[in-house]
Structure formats: C-alpha cells, structure tokens
Amino acid sequence: MNWSLLWAQLFNGLTLGALLVLVAMGLTIIFGALGVINFAHGAFYMVGAYAAYIAYTATYSFVISIVAGAAVAMLLGLIIERGLIRYYYKRPHEDQILVTFGIGIIIVEAVRAFFGGIAKRVPVPTWGEGAVNLGFLYYPTYRIEVLGIVGAALVILYVVLYRTRIGLIVRAGIEDQLMVNILGINVTRTFLVVFGLGSMAAGFAGVVNSPIVTVNPEMGALVLVQSFVVIVIGGVGSFWGAVVGGLIAGEILSLTAMIEPAYSQVMLFAAMAVVLILRPQGLFGVQGRQ
Amino acid sequence: MLRFGADRGLGRWLPEIASIIGLIVFPLLFPIIGGTFDMMDRILIWGLFGFGFDILFGFTGLLAFGQAAFYGIGGFTTAYLLINGYLTNALVALAGGTILASVFGVIIGLLSLRRSGIYFAMLTLAFGEMFYFLDLSPLRNITGGENGLSGVPAADLFFKIEVRTPEEMYWLIAVLFFVGFLLARRIIKSSFGAVLVAIRDNVDRVGVLGHDVQKYKLTAFVIAAAYGGLAGGLLGLFQGYMPPDAFYLETSGQLVVQTIMGGAGTLIGPTIGAGIWIYLRSALQQFDGIGSLWKMILGIVFVLIVTLFRKGICGGISQLWNRVTGSTVSRQTAVVPSAESLANETAMLPTAAIRNRSALTGSVILETKDVVKRYGGLTAVDSVSFQLIEGEIRALIGPNGAGKTTFFNMLAGTIPVTEGEIHFAGEHITHLGSTAVCQRGLAKSFQINQLFPSLSVRDNIRIPALARRYGKFNPSMLRDVEFDDDICRAVDDAIAAVQLTGRADVRAGELAYGEKRRLEIGLALATKPRVLLLDEPTAGMSPSERTETVQLLKRIAAGITIVIVEHDMDVVFGLADRVTVFFNGRKIAEDSPEAIQANPEVRAAYLGSPVKK
C-alpha cells in the first residue's frame, strides 16, 4: 500500500467534496425556499469560471477574479429570477424543471458562441503555487487553500441560514412552504435574494475550481449531475446532508480513482443507488417530505 | 344506459391512416424544402424514441431525464451483436437491443420510482449519466469507449432482403415507426392507458381507488425504455456506426425538448419536434454567423414554448381544431340537465332503495380494536374500539379536531396505524395500505375533492370501475377501453347513481361545486364497495343541495354499509341508524340517533356545558 498516494487521494477527495458541497448547497437552498430545482445550476457554475477567466486575463488578480465570478453568477441569477423563474412558482414542478433546463441550454450556448468551445485555463494564483509539506505528504498549496476558502464560504452560508431572518425563512420554507406563504412574509424579495445567493454559491465554486480543472462551456453538466447525487445521498433541504453528502461523494470519486480509475464515476452512482434502496429520503432527509 | 356513441367504424383508425399517408408523402414533400433521406431517417428514429417517452411523460406525467441510457443500451447491443457476427438478421438484433434496454428499464425504473416528482427527474438524470460513464471506461472493450462502434453491417432482413442506403433505410424505419405508432395508440386507448392518464392527473387518488400505482408507473417506464432501445438500434443500423453520444445527457435533453416543442401527450408531438430540431439545425447552417447559434436559438424557442405555449405545436393545433369545429368537451359544457331530466334519471333508479331499518341484525363487517394514532406527543385517536354491522348507516360525529377524519384515514389505509388492529370482513387489514383495502371493498370519499380534473366525468368514474373489474394491475394494453361493455355499463350505472348522466362528457375541473361533490362520492361508489366511508359529503353545499344529497345517499345505501362523518345534524339524523360520537380522540358515546340527542355528555362535548353527575 502506498500511504502517501492514499493520503493524497484522501485530500483530493476532500477538495473535490468541498466544492461539491458548495454547489449542492446552492441547489438545496434554492429548492428549499422556492420549491424549484434549478437545472441551470451547472450553467451558473460554468459562468462563474468564465467570469474568473476574463477577470484574470484583464487584471491578473485572483482575488478580483473570485469577486467577479461570484458577482456575475449572482447577477445572472437575479436577472433570471426576475425575468422568468418568478412566473413559474405557481406552475407544476415539471414546468419549472423544463424552463431551468432550457435556460441552462441558452447560457451554455451563449458562452460557447462568445468564447468558442475550446477549453480555457486559469492559472493557479501566485499565493497558491508550489506544494506544502504536511509531514506525511507534499500537497499542492492551492488545494489546501481551496479547503480553507470553501470552508469559510460554508461558514458564512451557515451563519446566513441559521442566524439571519432570511435564513429562518429559508429553513421554514424547507419545512413547510405553504405555511410560510400564508404567514404573509414578503416572499418576493426573499425568493430573489435566495436565488441570487444560490447562484452565487455555484459561481463561487466555479471560480475556485477554475485553476484545478479546465474551463469549457460543458464543465457545468457533470457538476450538476454530481450535486444531484450529493443531494440524494444527503437528503434534500438539509445543510448537514449537503455537507456530508458532498464529502462522501468527493471521497468516493477520488478513492475509487486510486483503485480502479475506470469505475470512479460509476461508483458514485452506485452509492446513490444503495442510499435509495436503504434510505430513500437520504441520510439526513426527513421521511414523509415528498 | 349504455353508450354506443363510440365510433366503431373506420373513423377511429383516422390517426393510423393519416400516419401511413404521412409516411408515404413525407419523402415526396420534404425534399422540396431541402430535406434529405438522412434527415428523414433521423426524424423517424427520434419520433420512435419519442412514442415511448411521450407515454411516460406526456401521458403518465413522469419527467425522465435519462432516456439516453436506453437509447445507448439498445443501440450498442444491436451494433455489437451484428458486428461480431453473433446474429446476422438485423430485425433479430434490434429485438435483442430492445429486450436488453427493457431489462435495464426494469432495474433503473425500480430505483428511480422510489421517489416521485422532481426527485424522479434528478434520479433518472443521474442514472442516465451512470451509463454514459459505464460506456466510456469500464465497458470500453465492448462499446469502443469514446470511439463508438463502427462497421455495423447493412441491415439484413428476412428473405435475403438487404437494406443499405438511407433511402432504403427510410422504408424499414417507416414500417417500424408505423408499428410503434400503432402499438402506442393501442396502449393509450387501453384500460392500462386510462390509468396512466389518471396517474398524471392525481396519482394519490389512483392508489386509493385500488390501483397499484407503482406497477403502472414501472410498466410505463419499461415501455419507454423499450422504445428507446429500438430507436437506438435503428440509429446504429442506419449510420453503420454507433456513436458514444447516444449515451450523452444531451440525447436525453434533446428528447425532452423535442417532445415539449411538438406537444407532450399527443404521441406524434415528439416526431414533429424532432422534425423542427433536425430541419432547423440543417437549415440554419446555411447562414454564416447564425449556423453556430442554432442550438441557442432552439433553446430560446424551447423556453418560450414552455412559458407561453406549454401544449406545444400538436397540442395547440388540436385545441384550435376543437375550437373551430366546436366539438367535444367545450360545447357539452353548456348542456346543463333540466330538472325534468334529473327527475327522469331518479325515476329510472332501482326502487329497492327503501331500507328495512330494523334489519340491523347482520354480522360485524368492520371492526377496530384499540386503534391509536399518535403524531409525536399528540394522540389524535386514542384507543378506539368500534364495530360496524353489515347494512347499517353509521354516522360519526364530534367537534372539530375530535379525530374523526384521522380515524377514517386509518380505516381506509391512507395513514399508518400507531397501535391496535382493524378487521374487515373477517380479515386483518391494519397494515395493508389503501390500495389493498380498497380492493377488498372498503372505499372512501374525501372531505376535500380528490378528482381527476382534466378527465371527463366518464373517464373519472372509469378509473375505480377498472380497479373493481380487473384488480389492482391490469397489463392488458391492446383492447380499447371504450369498447369494454362491462366497464361502460358499470361506469354508466355509477354516473346515473350520482345523477351526473347529463354531464358525463364534461371535464371534472369544469363542473359546478355540488357536481364535483357528487362525482367525489361517485368515484368511491364505482369501486362497488361493501363499506363506503363518506367524509363530510355535504361540506360546502347549499341547503337544497344537501337535501338532494341526503336523498341520493339513501338510494345508494340500498346495497352497502355506510359510515358518514358529518357536521350537519339534519343530515346525520335523517340518515343514520346509529351514531358514534368522538371527542378529543376518544369515542365517548354510541347509540341510536334519539338517544344521542339526549346524551348529556355529547351535549357537553359540543356546547362545553359542565356534565352534572
């Protein structure tokens, strides 16, 4: 057994998992508060990465890139919620899925039309170059920093969800959407804020991940599917479900890749199937919620 | 009253005849606007794929995002069998691919259908991606990974006929397309199809009426998988090459987009959508600057159609056709039965309705022993023991929150029992669930209407009638349900019993409130129950409607035992043989109506006055 390889893969799984947590968290809060599952979520992730690419080539500052990626994704989310999604709150879930799927196609194709289908690269920021000696392992500095950045973002999200008025409404909405509406809360503004926040989470994850992966118009599709798996494993509408589900997904992907790379993606879906059989509502899901 | 209006002549084959003409004329007309046989072949393959998907999505209401899996499985199986010489006959190889796709349809269906709604969409999408990854690496020795499988031989059919060119291929695909259409139409018009549409409209009620919803859903899923497998097989055969992108998420997405554009729930919609997609892609390529944007343009068109024109092109056309010809539902809405026709209907009903009130000496048909329902710390129903004699009308009364509806729901199996036992006709039914309970002859009408709003009154009533006649799952798909005389008779009887004969072809969603209430009772009645549970049948009715409903219930009660939850004491004392009173989750009294009226404890429960002992 190659211990340093195992450690490296464990860390890789952690980094990948943390990013999945962030994307899935965006998806799950939008669903919780609005009742809409956003099939364009992967596209927001991709838009974040492209915004970072543009900002980086213009300014060579990674911090500005992060801000730009998150802001552009959020802005796009706000525009789409006001322009289209809000007309769908009273329509069947199927229609909501269809329209967000269509929006996803338009965003991806628009990006392809402007930037072409060829992959772009965002370099690792200067403060993330090289590797760190952890004693048992030399590990790329940037990936360790990703853990810190994503962790900080999750703490902020946690505070927003559990310590603010908006967060209370979102969590109440996850429990009982109808009741929140009946209580006369200004849902219009809350919905807008939550959709922007969820989109921003996806865009932010896209920026942070851009130096690790290649940036191309299709990069969001796989992340969307993986964050669905995270949600199914963790349980819809659960903060800790998304965290645990995301980390499990990351570790499954990277540890299987070490043993038998061909099966790494397949194993993730197999894990989802097992959860579905044993605990259909997900690890942290509440039974009875649809 | 039997309905012989259904067209048994040539007219009902009109869509089939039109499709044959369409398939013959298509290659003559399409080239005029620049179409090629290659495009036509693709359109029909997507159309065939779409028949199955439309049965699943358009008719059953299950939005699946992973159909690419079956397209790929069918395609690669067919291609693999032919390339490696295991089979030489193309039709047999296609059958092989279709069968394997169906087998995987069962597996993925069983897993994905564990959740419903948006979760189902997410799960199918995820499982679809799983097959893409399986194709890409673990199975690359079989599927060729990202290279796909090339060298699929020309299709060799029976009688040494070989099909090579796209033009020859067109006729092979057209024949299979027609057979696929024929089968899909049969499925939709069968009793099986009738249940699918009801599932789309109100899935919970279908289960409560005695149908095994999961089996119906799974069968629809497997049908869709089979169509996908066949279409995938044809793709490889026609191209001579099986591409890995059959497994792509985009394939599933394209199918969804085409179906919506063409019109879901129309069968032919996906083919029209495929025509638009494939033609537009080729036509837009002609223009510099726009060619690369074709998919974005399609995306915009798709979003607009979903937002403003959800029925799609075919749905819109058929709506327009109905408006122009003024036929079907919309005109019949105007026909309100006159008082005379209602009186006639009533007169035609069996007069055995006069009950022998003293005959309450029968056996116990429904019994509960110490039934308890707890929600966390709240005990909604507290150890209620209750016996119902065959043939009686029992009223269940009590103030709001007394636990009447909760008790009812436990009897009907719609909510689980915490403790205690329920016995029906000598059988322990406590944990059987609502479908099995209904099949045994215990039916419930709901306090809040649970109808199939987009179906006509007749189609509504047909759902319980089918469950009674054929049990909880009836896989027969080839017989037209409109020609099933047993069912037609049962449906007409039930409609007459709730006095909706004049409104039989009106959509349930367009009925007046009182009519909806009667239909709600009719749904339960059409299951031909031995015991009928009525939860506030007169809720929200006007006084005159109430009087009518009481008369109606008296007639219904001729052959069956009834338990009725009701707040209107005129209704209760006008109908009931005995009255059971609930208060704070407990049964506090049970007696004849007269005795209950005099009972001080009951008065205290209702009025809050102290009980003097």
- Chain B contact set for A229 (CB, 8 A): 126
The DSSP H or E segment spanning B171 is helix B166-189
A261–B137 C-beta distance less than 8 A: yes
CA B94 to chain CA centroid, nearest Å: 30
User: CB of B299 within 8 Å of any CB in chain A?
Assistant: yes
- Residues of chain A in Cβ contact (below 8 Å) with chain B: 31, 37, 84, 87, 93-99, 101-103, 105-106, 109-110, 112-113, 221-222, 225, 228-229, 231-232, 236, 261-263, 265-266, 269-270, 272-273, 276-277, 280, 290
Give the position of tokens 């490889």. B236
Restricting to B residues 42-71, those with a Cβ less than 8 Å away from any Cβ of A are 61, 63, 65
Give me the percent of chain A exceeding a pLDDT of 90: 51
Give the position of tokens 């308890």. B372
A265–B119 C-beta distance less than 8 A: no
A103–B126 C-beta distance less than 8 A: no
Nearest CA in chain A to B255: A98
d(CA B332, CA B506): 6
Q: What pLDDT is recorded for position B362?
A: 76
Nearest-Cα distance to chain B for A195, in Å, is 18
Q: What pLDDT is recorded for position B516?
A: 92
Q: Which site among A36, A37, A79, A105 would you substitute to test the B interface, given the most B Cβ atoms closer than 10 Å to its Cβ?
A: A105
Q: How many CA atoms lie within 13 A of A16 on its CB side?
A: 23
Q: What confidence tier does B334 reach under pLDDT thresholds 50, 70, 90?
A: very low
Maximum pairwise Cα distance, chain A: 60
User: What residue type is assigned to position B127 of the chain?
Assistant: F
Q: What confidence tier does B140 reach under pLDDT thresholds 50, 70, 90?
A: confident
B45 contacts B231 by C-beta, under 8 angstroms: yes
Q: What pLDDT is recorded for position B338?
A: 45
Q: Which two tokens stand for residue B529?
A: 């129950």
Nearest-Cα distance to chain A for B122, in Å, is 6
B115–A280 C-beta distance less than 8 A: yes
Q: Does pLDDT of B608 surpass 90?
A: no
User: CB of B296 within 8 Å of any CB in chain A?
Assistant: yes
Question: pLDDT, tens digit, for every residue of B584-598?
Answer: 889 988 888 888 888
Q: What pLDDT is recorded for position B1?
A: 38
**Of the candidates B121, B249, B302, which has its C-beta nearest A102's C-beta?**
B302
A71 contacts A95 by C-beta, under 8 angstroms: no
- Chain B contact set for A280 (CB, 8 A): 114-115
Q: Does pLDDT of B611 surpass 60?
A: no
Q: pLDDT under 70 in chain A at which residues?
A: 1, 174, 177, 186, 286-290
Give the Cβ contact number of residue B348 at 10 Å.
Answer: 11
Q: What pLDDT is recorded for position A134?
A: 80
CA A218 to chain CA centroid, nearest Å: 15
Q: What pLDDT is recorded for position A289?
A: 47
B133–A266 C-beta distance less than 8 A: yes
Nearest-Cα distance to chain A for B601, in Å, is 36
At residue B373, φ and ψ (nearest 5 deg) are -130, 120
Nearest-Cα distance to chain B for A38, in Å, is 10
Per DSSP, the residues of B266-299 read SSSHHHHHHHHHHHHHHHHTTSTTTGGGHHHHHH
Q: Does pLDDT of B463 surpass 60?
A: yes
Restricting to B residues 536-575, those with a Cβ less than 8 Å away from any Cβ of A are none
- Chain B contact set for A270 (CB, 8 A): 130
Q: What pLDDT is recorded for position B286?
A: 81
d(CA B273, CA B305): 12
- Chain A contact set for B299 (CB, 8 A): 102-103, 105-106, 109
Q: In the predicted model, what is the mean pLDDT of chain B? A: 87
Restricting to B residues 82-121, those with a Cβ less than 8 Å away from any Cβ of A are 111, 114-119, 121
A110–B118 C-beta distance less than 8 A: no
A228–B122 C-beta distance less than 8 A: yes
Q: What pLDDT is recorded for position A188?
A: 77
- Could you tell me the residue ranges of all domains in chain A? 26-220
Mean pLDDT check: name the lowest of B101-115, B157-171, B269-283, B506-520.
B157-171
**Of the candidates B61, B111, B253, which has its C-beta nearest A101's C-beta?**
B253
Q: Does pLDDT of B2 surpass 50?
A: no
Q: What pLDDT is recorded for position B329?
A: 46
- Chain B contact set for A31 (CB, 8 A): 118
A263–B119 C-beta distance less than 8 A: no
Restricting to B residues 128-147, those with a Cβ less than 8 Å away from any Cβ of A are 129-130, 133-134, 137-138, 140
Q: What pLDDT is recorded for position B54?
A: 97
If you average pLDDT over residues B30-38, what whole number do you get? 90
Question: pLDDT, tens digit, for every residue of B49-92?
Answer: 999 999 999 999 999 999 999 999 999 999 999 999 888 888 99
Question: pLDDT, tens digit, for every residue of B290-325?
Answer: 777 888 999 999 999 999 988 888 888 888 887 887
Nearest-Cα distance to chain A for B127, in Å, is 7
Nearest-Cα distance to chain A for B540, in Å, is 22
d(CA B593, CA B551): 18
Q: What pLDDT is recorded for position B610?
A: 60
Q: What pLDDT is recorded for position B59?
A: 96
Q: What pLDDT is recorded for position B341?
A: 47
- Residue B375, burial from CB neighbour count under 10 angstroms (0-12, 13-18, 19+): exposed
Nearest CA in chain A to B122: A228
Nearest-Cα distance to chain A for B110, in Å, is 10
Q: What confidence tier does B612 reach under pLDDT thresholds 50, 70, 90?
A: low
Domains identified in chain B and CATH numbers: 19-248 (no CATH), 364-607 (3.40.50.300)
pTM for the model stands at: 0.90
**Of the candidates A103, A113, A269, which has its C-beta nearest B293's C-beta?**
A113
Q: What pLDDT is recorded for position A137?
A: 80
Q: Residue B475's closest CA among B221, B216, B225?
A: B216
Nearest CA in chain B to A225: B126
If you average pLDDT over residues B133-161, what whole number do you get? 83
B296–A110 C-beta distance less than 8 A: yes
Q: What confidence tier does B568 reach under pLDDT thresholds 50, 70, 90?
A: confident
d(CA B441, CA B452): 21
Query: A-B interface: how many C-beta pairs under 8 angstroms?
Result: 107
Q: ∠ CA(A252), CA(A255), CA(A259), 5° rounding?
A: 125
- Chain A contact set for B415 (CB, 8 A): none
**Of the candidates B61, B122, B140, which has its C-beta nearest A37's C-beta?**
B122
**Of the candidates B130, B300, B306, which has its C-beta nearest A266's C-beta?**
B130
Q: Which two tokens stand for residue B369?
A: 């022993």
Q: Which site among A23, A98, A229, A274 would you substitute to test the B interface, given the most B Cβ atoms closer than 10 Å to its Cβ?
A: A98
Q: What confidence tier does B42 reach under pLDDT thresholds 50, 70, 90?
A: very high
Q: Which site among B307, B414, B415 would you substitute to test the A interface, given the most A Cβ atoms closer than 10 Å to its Cβ?
A: B307
Region for residue B401 given its phi and psi (left: phi exceeds 0; alpha: psi -120 to 50; beta: otherwise): left
Nearest-Cα distance to chain A for B196, in Å, is 17
Q: What pLDDT is recorded for position B361?
A: 61
d(CA B55, CA B69): 17
**Of the candidates B65, B118, B303, which has its C-beta nearest A102's C-beta?**
B303
Q: What pLDDT is recorded for position B531?
A: 92
Give the Cβ contact number of residue B433 at 10 Å.
Answer: 14
Per DSSP, the residues of B321-381 read HHHHHT-HHHHHTT-PPPHHHHHHHHHHS-STT---TT-TTS-EEEEEEEEEEEETTEEEE
At residue B358, φ and ψ (nearest 5 deg) are -85, 0
- Chain A contact set for B300 (CB, 8 A): 106
Q: Which two tokens stand for residue B277?
A: 């997609």
Nearest-Cα distance to chain A for B310, in Å, is 8
Q: Which site among B118, B247, B252 would you substitute to test the A interface, given the most A Cβ atoms closer than 10 Å to its Cβ?
A: B118
- Chain B contact set for A97 (CB, 8 A): 63, 118, 121
Q: What pLDDT is recorded for position B236?
A: 93
Nearest-Cα distance to chain A for B183, in Å, is 26
Q: Does pLDDT of B340 surpass 60?
A: no
